[in-house]
Amino acid sequence: MLGRRVDRIEEQLRIEISEIIELEIHDPRVGLTTVTAVKVSPDLRHARIFVSTLGNEEEHKKTIQGLRSAAGYIRRSLSKRLHHLKRIPELMFDYDESVEQGLRIEKLLDDIKSGPEST
């Protein structure tokens, strides 16, 4: 029962944070950013937000810095939107490397397929 509630809260946070980043954050460091996942601690005190962005590693770092500096604003905005929650979790932003890892694995598999066939 508690697991389903946490899952619903994670999904709601993902949707709301995505909207806040898209519409309310005007930091030039934060470009086109997608919230890929949100993981909330069981006590709902901490939320880890995973994001992906376009660009190179330097741009990823700038985006994370911009989001970390805007975390307080995002949290206040969440408290206005999600007033049914008793406590809004502390927000921690991290870059989601799973997309890049998936692309790398896909490229390696393509390389294996197109490699010389040994018979």
Per the model's pLDDT, the better-predicted residue between 1 and 101 turns out to be: 101
Give the pair of three-digit tokens for residue 79: 């408290």
State the chain's mean pLDDT as an integer. 89
Does an H or E element contain 51, and which?
strand 46-53
For residue 45, pLDDT over 90 is answered with yes
Band (pLDDT 50/70/90 cuts) for residue 118 is very low
Which whole number is the average pLDDT over 47-75?
A: 92
Band (pLDDT 50/70/90 cuts) for residue 66 is very high
Please list, residue by residue across 9-41, b when 16 or more beta carbons sit within 10 angstroms of its beta carbon and e when fewer do.
bbebbbebbbebbeeebeeebbeebebeebebe
Band (pLDDT 50/70/90 cuts) for residue 107 is confident
pLDDT for residue 2: 64
Which whole number is the average pLDDT over 77-86?
A: 91
CATH of domain 2-114: 3.30.300.20
Whether the full predicted model's pTM is greater than 0.95, yes or no, is no
Angle between helical axes of 57-69 and 71-81 (0-180°, round to 10): 60
Which whole number is the average pLDDT over 70-74?
A: 95
Domain extent listing, the chain: 2-114
Per the model's pLDDT, the better-predicted residue between 72 and 109 turns out to be: 72
